[in-house]
Structure 1
Amino acid sequence: MGRWRLSRRKLLFLCVLCTSLLLFLHLPTSPHHFSLSPSSTLCLSRFHRISWTHSPPPAWSWAKSENCYFRRFSRKHASELLRGAWILAAGDSQARLVVLALLRLLLDPTEVSTVEPDLFRRHSDYHITLPDRGIKVDFLWAPYESNITWLLRDIQHTRHYPDLLILGSGLWHMLHITNPSLYGTALTEIKQEAVSLLEPSGSLHPHMFWLGLPKLVNSKLNTEEKKEKMTGNMLEAYNWEVKWRGMPKGSSGPFMLLDIGLLTRGCGPLCTLDGMHYDGAVYDAAVNIMLNSMLIESQ
């Protein structure tokens, strides 16, 4: 698959479709060198201002934000934006749910019903191509931080860069290792490898997103071990490591943070059956935040 690049013609077409979201866009060769205007920076800080309604099923909408014109992507708009792209997601079940939300946006419901069983095979990888749009989506089961570190090293070694990289971990570490400090050390290694992807000059680099941990509803967790180890205090400690280790761009890190924690708190405990995995509306919101941020960062 050839490298993905948004032409000016395509970008102007997208601007019209998205009701003049942005004008004269061009994707830079490296997100490390984004130069955002003050208004763009302000809008990036407002991505997660979501309003929720809880009459079943849960639904979300953008909160009103002056001078920030966020739009929900249709299948047509998302397909045009991502045409020719290689999308690589790696992580635990939260990353898998984000991939499902992306496929629900790109495919019609009958197609989703045929791919969902394969996507949710326990502890497995998943791969799909959409030949009519030249889109390739890969999900790699990578529950531990070391899995992600080795993936980034492999990308750097092969110089076969995805166009969109979605990463996230922490739940397995919290359950099976239960040590925030060790989690933070592992995050530092991920950050170092991610930054190294941005360093070679003259190369095309991926847009990189990090998935925050969801709000855990302890009373709904489905095993006693989870209830004992995955407490609110432990979740807070793990979230603190993400910020203190400088993973998000707001902390000089390489990743745009998709704040699943904030989105799940907004949707609320009625949006989860097992206290950890949430209604699809949460991950649909995350995908729309991701696509909008790609446009704004390309201003």
Structure 2
Amino acid sequence: MFFGAVQLGIMAACVVLFVPMGMAGWHLSRNKVLFFSGALFITLAVCIHLIPYFPSFFPQSQSPTVLFQQDHRDLCVTLLNNVNFSSNFDNFSWNWDTSSGSYDCDFQKLGRVDVSDLLNGSWVVVAGDSQARLFVMSLLDLILGSDKMILIHEDLFKRHSDYHIVVEEIGLKLDFIWSPYVTNLTDVVTGFKRNRTYPDVLVMGSGLWHMLHFTNYTDYGVSLQLLRESLFRSFPVSRKFDMESDAGRALHLFWLGMPTLINGLLNTEEKRVKMTRELCDAYDHELYKSKLLRRDGGSLLLLDVESLSRRCGVDCSLDGMHYSDVVYEASVHVMLNALLIESHQKL
């Protein structure tokens, strides 16, 4: 059991008071008792003043308030993906589901100024397939506004290509890395280790291409395991969402989940045959088995596009695979609110 400051003070007072009394009871001379009492008092005083300089020898337990705040933050992180959608003809809107208890978490739809403050001076990397590209578009739309998005839209959506942008006003660097397979994501992670540079925020996601072109969930699971091993080798990965790089900067890792597939809306026969609900479930199971996700003991927080797209519904899908901008907008805000929670910020 560790002693707090109050308990330690009481113990020291008892020693100073009762030890000299005991010595007096042994009929020692008055001078000896006074000398010993003075020496004992001075020694204890010096020790107490030195305690702050040697905290490892006197660890302090966390206060109930600190523990409560951490538990509250952890609970809020688990509720981030609880989002509801509503539609008015072709216009969709979204908000957090307050019935789940998220009303007490103070989740926020952030505006351009708030997002700029949050990501000021950051390096954000998003790696994945077309879903990740749509995620980047929503993030940049929030930062730049629709007028500037028109200017970069063509470059951002060049087929199967990377994209890089620096937002000079806030010192934000953003990279999209075309990575349709998990093996590509592993190469991205290895590259960070090789170059000894790590982004502040890394969002990864892959699976749709593997499902279509390989249709082998077991092989997908093996590649996820290799990615997890690469993360532990390449990053200073702990079992916490908020990690530190070699330079002492916080690293925030996310997994962009696959969307709900609507088989009847898929635009080719090959997709309709291969990308079934049963196969999607098998791929999801491999993701959970890999223990990449934070909830399963890994280090990546899930941006649950499957849940978000399912809640948005059939009318929200463009082709049974890609969804209305509102789904990716919601997933971006899930990420941003996670950053607020984990960095103990409140805008």
Q: Does 1:260 align with 2:305?
A: yes
Provide the TM-score with structure 2 as the length reference.
0.74
Structure-1-length-normalised TM-score: 0.86
Compute the displacement of 1:67 (Å): 2.0
Indicate the structure (1 or 2) with the bigger Cα radius of gyration.
Answer: 2
- SS of residue matched to 1:286: helix
- State whether residues 191 and 254 of structure 1, in contact with CA within 8 Å, keep that contact through their aligned partners in structure 2: no
> Which of 224, 231, 236 is residue 269 of structure 2 equivalent to?
224
2:96 aligns to what?
Answer: 62
How far residue 42 of structure 1 moved from its aligned partner, in angstroms, is 0.8
Residue in 2 that maps onto 1:148? 185
- 1:39 aligns with 72
Q: CA deviation at 1:229?
A: 0.4
2:114 matched residue in structure 1: 77
Residue number in structure 1 paired with 2:35 = none
**Structure 2 partner of 1:21:** none
Tell me which residue corresponds to 2:278: 233
Specify the code of the residue in structure 1 equivalent to 2:143.
Answer: L
- Alignment of 1:283 onto 2:316: no
Counterpart for residue 222 of structure 2: 185
Match runs of 1:95-106 below 5 Å: 95-106=132-143
- In the other structure, the counterpart of 1:174 is 211
Equivalence for 1:8: none
CA change 1:202–1:122 in 2 (3 A) is closer
Tell me the CA shift for residue 159 of structure 1. Answer: 1.1
Change (3 A) 1:267 1:154: same
Cα distance in structure 1, aligned partners of 2:104 and 2:229? 35
Aligned residue number for residue 22 of structure 2 = none
Task: Give the aligned residue type for 2:195.
Answer: T
Does 2:289 correspond to 1:244?
yes
Q: Secondary structure at the match of 1:167?
A: strand
Superposition misfits of 4+ residues, deviation over 6 angstroms? none
Structure 1 residue 254 displacement after superposition: 1.2
**Contact 1:162–1:205 (CA<8 Å) still a contact in 2?**
no
Q: After TM superposition, give the deviation of residue 66 of structure 1 in Å.
A: 4.2
Residue equivalent to 2:236: 198
Q: 1:194, 1:270 → 2: CA distance? A: 38
Shift of 1:69: 0.6
Does 1 or 2 have the higher relative contact order (CA < 8 Å, sep 6+)? 1
Q: Deviations over 1:240-267 (max 9, x none)?
A: 1111111110101110100000000010
Letter of the aligned partner of 1:141 in structure 2? Answer: W
- Give the structure 2 partner of residue 31 of structure 1: none
Q: Aligned residues, how many?
A: 265
Query: Is 1:160–2:208 an aligned residue pair?
Result: no
Which consecutive residues of structure 1, in runs of 5 or more, have no partner in the other structure? 1-34
Q: Secondary structure at the match of 2:151?
A: helix
Alpha-carbon distance, 1:201 to partner: 5.6
